[in-house]
Each structure stands twice: as structure tokens, then as C-alpha cells.
Chain A
Amino acid sequence: MSDSKPAVTEVNARRLLCPLPVIRTQNAIKKLKENDLLEVTCTDPGAKQDIPAWSRINGHHIEEILEHDGEIIIRVRVGASETK
């Protein structure tokens, strides 16, 4: 049995305005597998609503939202999904 931790993939969505951070999140998740972790860094405050909303409806889970120095870091745990 493997005890390796799930991969963390980083997405740079700084200076992108919504819905582009959501699109970057969505496109990154297409390449990931269930339980992988995605870390999206954005500057558009709208992403705080939009990425969680997109994640909820597409079966992914928000682990954490951090704000630091005008940047927002959103950690998304990839859920099971037929159509990503």
C-alpha cells in the first residue's frame, strides 16, 4: 500500500478577472485525479465566491481560503466526477 501524499498542483491566476480564475481551476482539475489538491492563487476578490461555487456544483471540495498581501489562495480537493 502506498503512503505517498496526493500531489499539489499550483495555479497562478493573479491579475486575472473572473471567470478566468474559475476557468484556470477547471482546466487544471481536468488533468488531475480524485483526491489531488489544487492551490489557486488569485487577486480578484470575486474568485472567493466563484471558485467555491464552481467547486460545489462540480463535486470538488474547498479545503481552505487564505488571504495574504492582497492575494487569495484557494485550496481545492478534487472530487469524483464523470464530466470534468
Chain B
Amino acid sequence: MSKQIKAVALISGGLDSMLAVKVIQEQGIHVEGINFFTGFCVEGHTHAIRKKHQKKEKRNNALWVAEQLGIKLHIIDVVEEYKDILLNPSHGYGKNMNPCLDCKSFMVTKAREWMEENGFDFIITGEVVGQRPMSQRRDTMPVIAEESGSGELLVRPLSAQTLPETLPEKQGWLDREKLYGFTGRTRKPQMALASQYGFKDYATPAGGCCMLTDEHYSHKLVDMWKNRTNRDYELDDIILLKMGRHFRFSPDFKLIIGREEGENNFMQGYKNQFKTVYSTSHSGPLSIIDGEIENEADFQQTLALIARYTQGKDAAEVTLEIRQPNGNTQAYQIKPMAIDAVKQEWMI
């Protein structure tokens, strides 16, 4: 009896990796999926936190794709290891703070290690030549194979016919004729193949599934680093960047004002780490003060801005209570800031 050949697939939850797996399954290969949690994934957190998203089905696309394909999915927490990729990318950043090439090399390296530990034979990804400006170019795709140490064991089923033959093809595990030769940014061939396989419902996130490709998020991340003594970060830091309105009046502190009930509830969980501010006279958001307010003018301005976002924005005074992380509270009466006094440059 011949040995069952097994492949591990990088599953993002998007259409390309879904198709890549299906193409390989069609050739009788046993496939299992691997998905990496960097902390910068777009979907889970914001949807879970924000109340307005609660009617939306909270589906993890990677899990959903795995279930559609009938494959196992292994989700790996790489938050700690990923810091070095983000902070010191050898190939630099893309348009925003996205270190796409280093990121893909890192993930394929982790997949190779998993493959070796679990007795699998090769790795597949949904990469398409020319699809992405940094990591999916004809000249950078071989870099990923080389840097990850996967070499000829890395198969890109959707573009395989335009790439050098891989070991699984040479060994006869895969029929090259049944792989594809997609190139470029057009999604039409993928959509046609999806239709052929009967895939009607699939995720099509613009800019991928990573917050680091988002301009606004990247801006907040750079602001955080600029105002700290070093660029290190914890998971809570990068989650807080996803929620609330962020304002900065000075390098010493930042103000985060919740945008809605879900965020306010979630931000409550940080009350023992940060000073939190809430209104006791009017309904309104929860705010977090990240840092130390060093002067009275900044202090007054901060409270006036918070009061502006309460239901008492047109009232003569709003009562705000500041809670210290140790639980001590103090109340302040404050006149809400006028709308035209809110400066655009404070917003991060």
C-alpha cells in the first residue's frame, strides 16, 4: 500500500488559500491547515467588541474555510515571535506598517517546522504571482521559499505552472497539468475556479486580513512607538489601538474615548491598568487615559473633550469621575468643549 502523501496549507480564511487546498485535495493529497495569530488579525477583535457588529455573524473565516474543505485547522499563537518580524523586518515595510515579505517568510518557516514535526510532506499556500505588491511578486516569491528553508517543498498550486517545478511534482505526488498558472491582480480566474468548485460564499477582505495594511491603524501604531522610550509592545497595546477614538495633546499621554457600548464594556476591563473617566451626570462613553497628564491646561482640556462626547455636550456642566487603577475616584465638574474647539490635529 502506498504512503498517503500529506500537505500542510497556510489558511488565511480568504479565497486563494481555500482554492489552493481544494486543488491539492483533488489530487488525492491529505491536507491539514495552519493559521497564525499575530494579534493584528482584522476580524475577530473589532467584531467581538463593537456592539454595532453584533448582528453580523461572528465567523472566523479560517475555521469556516477549513470546515468547508473538511480539513483540520491548527491555530498557532505567534504574538511574541511576531514582534521581531514587525520591529525589524529585513525587507522593510510596505505602504503602511506591513512587513509582508518578512511576514510570509516567517509563516512559511513556521509551517515548515510544523510539517517536519508532524511528518507531513510539503507546504501549500494560496499565493499568486503578481497579486500583491510586496510578497507575491515573481522576484520575491523565491525569496520566501529560500528564507523559510522550504525550497522545493513549497507549492503554490494557483501559480505553479508559471513557477519552477517543485519536489512534489518531480516525485509524481502532484500532476503539474492539474495545477494552475494564474498571475496578476485580477481575481477573475479565482472566481471562475470557485464557481467550478461550487464555492459561493467566501471572504474577500480588501487589503488582506491584517491591520498592519490599514493606514489609520498603522498611524496609531507609529504614534504609540514615537511617544514611548522603545518600540516594544504587548497584545493589550495592539488591541487598544483597534478601539475608540484616539487623541493626543502631548507626548506624555493619550486619550481613548469609547465609540459605543461594546467598546465601553471592553475598555472597562482595563480599569486596573489605566486611569478611566466616565460621566456620572449624563450618559456617555468610557475613556482611558494612557500616560500621565503633566499640566493643568492639558488636564482641563482632556476633561472638556471627554464631556463633549457625553449626552451633556450642550449642558453648562458635566460631572466626570476619574478612577485611578487602585480604585480611588474623584469627581470634577467641567464645561464641555465646544465643537469648533476640537482640533483635527489631536486625532490620531
Contact = CB atoms under 8 A, between A and B. Distances in A.
B97 to A, nearest CB: 21
A18 B239 contact: no
A32 interface: no
A26 B323 CA distance: 37
Interface string A38-54: 00000011101110011
Interface stretch (B59-67, B127-135, B250-258): B59-67
Interface centre among B54, B64, B239 (most CB of A within 10 A): B64
A44 B262 CA distance: 11
A17 B44 contact: yes
Nearest to B70: A57
Given A23-B37, A58-B72, A46 B77 contact: no
User: Which of A15, A26, A46 is packed against the most chain B CB atoms within 10 Å?
Assistant: A46
B106 to A, nearest CB: 18
Q: Which of A17, A48, A53 has the most CB of B within 10 A?
A: A17
Interface residues of B, number: 30
A11 interface: no
Contacts of B44: 17-19, 46
Given A23-B77, A83-B72, A83-B118, A57 B48 contact: no
B57 A49 contact: yes
A37 interface: no
B164 interface: no
Interface residues of A, number: 22
B75 A54 contact: yes
A17 B48 contact: yes
A2 B239 CA distance: 48
Contacts of B37: 19-20, 23
B32 interface: yes
Contacts of A58: 72-73
Contacts of A49: 57-60
Given A18-B45, A48-B58, A57-B67, 8 more contacts: A17-B239, A20-B77, A23-B75, A49-B58, A54-B63, A56-B67, A81-B72, A83-B74
Interface of A: 15, 17-20, 22-23, 26, 44-46, 48-50, 53-54, 56-59, 81, 83
